[in-house]
Structure 1
Amino acid sequence: MNSEPREARLKRMRMRAWRRGTKEMDLILGPYADSMLTRMDEATLKHFDLLLEENDQDLYLWVTGAQPAPAEHAELLAAIGANARGRLQPTPEPGR
Structure 2
Amino acid sequence: MGDTANSEPLSASRLLNERELSKLHWRCRRGLLENDLFIEQFFARFEPELNQRHAQGLAILMDLSDNDLLDLLLRRREPKDSLDAPEVHEVLRMLRKSGRTPELGA
For the criterion TM > 0.5, the same-fold answer is yes
8 Å CA contact 1:14–1:34 kept in 2: the answer is no
Larger Rg: 1
Corresponding position of 1:79: 94
Q: 1:37 to 1:45 in 2, by over 3 A?
A: farther
Matches within 5 A, 1:27-46: 27-46=37-56
1-structure distance, mates of 2:21, 2:99: 20
Identity, in percent, stands at: 19
Corresponding position of 1:12: 23
Q: 1:15 to 1:35 in 2, by over 3 A?
A: farther
8 Å CA contact 2:57–2:90 kept in 1: the answer is no
8 Å CA contact 1:10–1:38 kept in 2: the answer is no
With structure 2 as the length reference, what TM-score do the two structures score?
Answer: 0.65
Structure 2 gaps of 5+ residues are 1-15
User: 1:81 offset after TM fit, Å?
Assistant: 0.6
Indicate which of 55, 59, 70 corresponds to 2:69.
59
Root-mean-square deviation over aligned CA pairs: 2.3
User: 1:64 offset after TM fit, Å?
Assistant: 0.8
With structure 1 as the length reference, what TM-score do the two structures score?
Answer: 0.70
- 1:2-44 CA-to-partner distances (Å, cap 9, x unmatched) read xxx9312211212333x31100000011220232133122222
Secondary structure class of the residue paired with 1:61: helix
2-structure distance, mates of 1:77, 1:61: 11
Amino acid corresponding to residue 40 of structure 1 in structure 2: L
